[in-house]
Amino acid sequence: MGLRSKALKVEREALVPTPIDLPEDLPALYRTYVADLVTTLSDEDVSGRGSEELHTLIDTVVVDWDADKKVHLLELRGKLLNMLNAVRPAGEAGLTESESSLKLVAGVGFEPTTFRL
Protein backbone atom coordinates (compact mmCIF):
# COMPACT_ATOMS: atom_id res chain seq x y z
CA MET A 1 0.00 0.00 0.00
CA GLY A 2 1.46 3.29 -1.11
CA LEU A 3 1.84 6.41 1.02
CA ARG A 4 -1.08 8.12 -0.76
CA SER A 5 -3.33 5.09 -0.20
CA LYS A 6 -2.45 5.03 3.51
CA ALA A 7 -3.18 8.73 3.85
CA LEU A 8 -6.54 8.33 2.11
CA LYS A 9 -7.40 5.34 4.31
CA VAL A 10 -6.63 7.34 7.48
CA GLU A 11 -8.68 10.26 6.14
CA ARG A 12 -11.63 7.98 5.30
CA GLU A 13 -11.56 6.32 8.73
CA ALA A 14 -11.58 9.74 10.40
CA LEU A 15 -14.80 10.76 8.67
CA VAL A 16 -17.90 10.53 10.82
CA PRO A 17 -21.32 10.68 9.15
CA THR A 18 -23.61 13.40 10.42
CA PRO A 19 -26.46 11.89 12.45
CA ILE A 20 -29.96 12.51 11.14
CA ASP A 21 -32.49 13.81 13.63
CA LEU A 22 -36.05 12.75 12.86
CA PRO A 23 -38.93 14.70 14.34
CA GLU A 24 -40.61 12.97 17.26
CA ASP A 25 -44.03 13.59 15.69
CA LEU A 26 -43.02 11.92 12.41
CA PRO A 27 -46.16 9.71 12.15
CA ALA A 28 -48.45 12.75 12.64
CA LEU A 29 -46.39 14.76 10.17
CA TYR A 30 -46.67 11.95 7.62
CA ARG A 31 -50.45 11.76 8.09
CA THR A 32 -50.66 15.53 7.50
CA TYR A 33 -48.67 15.26 4.27
CA VAL A 34 -50.84 12.39 3.04
CA ALA A 35 -54.01 14.33 3.89
CA ASP A 36 -52.66 17.34 1.97
CA LEU A 37 -51.84 15.07 -0.96
CA VAL A 38 -55.38 13.68 -0.98
CA THR A 39 -56.75 17.24 -0.94
CA THR A 40 -54.44 18.31 -3.77
CA LEU A 41 -55.23 15.28 -5.91
CA SER A 42 -58.97 15.78 -5.29
CA ASP A 43 -58.83 19.25 -6.86
CA GLU A 44 -60.47 18.94 -10.31
CA ASP A 45 -57.92 21.25 -11.96
CA VAL A 46 -55.06 19.04 -10.78
CA SER A 47 -56.74 15.67 -11.30
CA GLY A 48 -58.12 16.67 -14.71
CA ARG A 49 -54.73 17.67 -16.09
CA GLY A 50 -53.08 14.65 -14.50
CA SER A 51 -55.73 12.32 -15.88
CA GLU A 52 -55.31 13.67 -19.40
CA GLU A 53 -51.55 13.19 -19.21
CA LEU A 54 -51.87 9.65 -17.83
CA HIS A 55 -54.27 8.69 -20.65
CA THR A 56 -51.49 9.43 -23.16
CA LEU A 57 -48.97 7.28 -21.24
CA ILE A 58 -50.93 4.31 -19.82
CA ASP A 59 -52.54 1.84 -22.20
CA THR A 60 -53.85 -0.75 -19.73
CA VAL A 61 -54.18 -1.27 -15.99
CA VAL A 62 -54.23 -4.96 -15.03
CA VAL A 63 -55.68 -5.76 -11.61
CA ASP A 64 -54.97 -9.17 -10.04
CA TRP A 65 -55.83 -10.62 -6.64
CA ASP A 66 -53.13 -12.41 -4.63
CA ALA A 67 -55.18 -14.77 -2.46
CA ASP A 68 -52.17 -15.81 -0.35
CA LYS A 69 -51.23 -12.25 0.59
CA LYS A 70 -54.82 -11.00 0.39
CA VAL A 71 -53.87 -7.94 -1.64
CA HIS A 72 -54.64 -6.54 -5.06
CA LEU A 73 -51.74 -6.18 -7.48
CA LEU A 74 -51.77 -3.42 -10.09
CA GLU A 75 -49.73 -3.54 -13.26
CA LEU A 76 -49.47 -0.48 -15.48
CA ARG A 77 -48.84 -1.16 -19.15
CA GLY A 78 -47.97 1.60 -21.52
CA LYS A 79 -45.20 3.97 -22.45
CA LEU A 80 -42.98 3.48 -19.40
CA LEU A 81 -39.95 5.18 -20.91
CA ASN A 82 -42.09 8.17 -21.85
CA MET A 83 -43.38 8.34 -18.25
CA LEU A 84 -39.87 8.29 -16.86
CA ASN A 85 -38.51 10.69 -19.45
CA ALA A 86 -41.32 13.14 -18.63
CA VAL A 87 -40.01 13.67 -15.11
CA ARG A 88 -36.32 12.93 -15.64
CA PRO A 89 -35.53 11.39 -12.22
CA ALA A 90 -32.14 12.52 -10.94
CA GLY A 91 -31.62 14.73 -13.96
CA GLU A 92 -30.22 12.68 -16.82
CA ALA A 93 -29.07 9.81 -14.56
CA GLY A 94 -30.92 6.58 -14.38
CA LEU A 95 -32.51 5.95 -17.76
CA THR A 96 -31.04 3.61 -20.28
CA GLU A 97 -33.14 2.66 -23.28
CA SER A 98 -32.79 -0.91 -24.43
CA GLU A 99 -34.47 -3.10 -26.98
CA SER A 100 -36.16 -5.35 -24.41
CA SER A 101 -35.61 -3.94 -20.94
CA LEU A 102 -35.32 -0.82 -18.86
CA LYS A 103 -32.45 -0.25 -16.47
CA LEU A 104 -32.72 2.28 -13.64
CA VAL A 105 -29.61 3.53 -11.90
CA ALA A 106 -29.61 5.69 -8.78
CA GLY A 107 -27.94 9.02 -9.33
CA VAL A 108 -25.68 10.95 -6.96
CA GLY A 109 -27.60 12.07 -3.89
CA PHE A 110 -30.02 9.15 -4.08
CA GLU A 111 -28.42 7.40 -1.11
CA PRO A 112 -26.46 8.84 1.80
CA THR A 113 -22.72 8.36 1.59
CA THR A 114 -21.66 5.33 3.60
CA PHE A 115 -18.18 4.84 4.92
CA ARG A 116 -16.43 1.70 6.22
CA LEU A 117 -18.29 -0.61 3.83
Q: What is the pTM of this model?
A: 0.37
Domain edges within the chain: 22-78, 79-109
Distance between CA atoms of 19 and 88, rounded to whole angstroms?
A: 30
Cβ–Cβ under 8 Å, residues 49 and 43: no
> Is the pLDDT assigned to residue 68 strictly greater than 90?
yes
pLDDT in tens, 19-47: 888 888 989 988 888 888 888 878 888 78
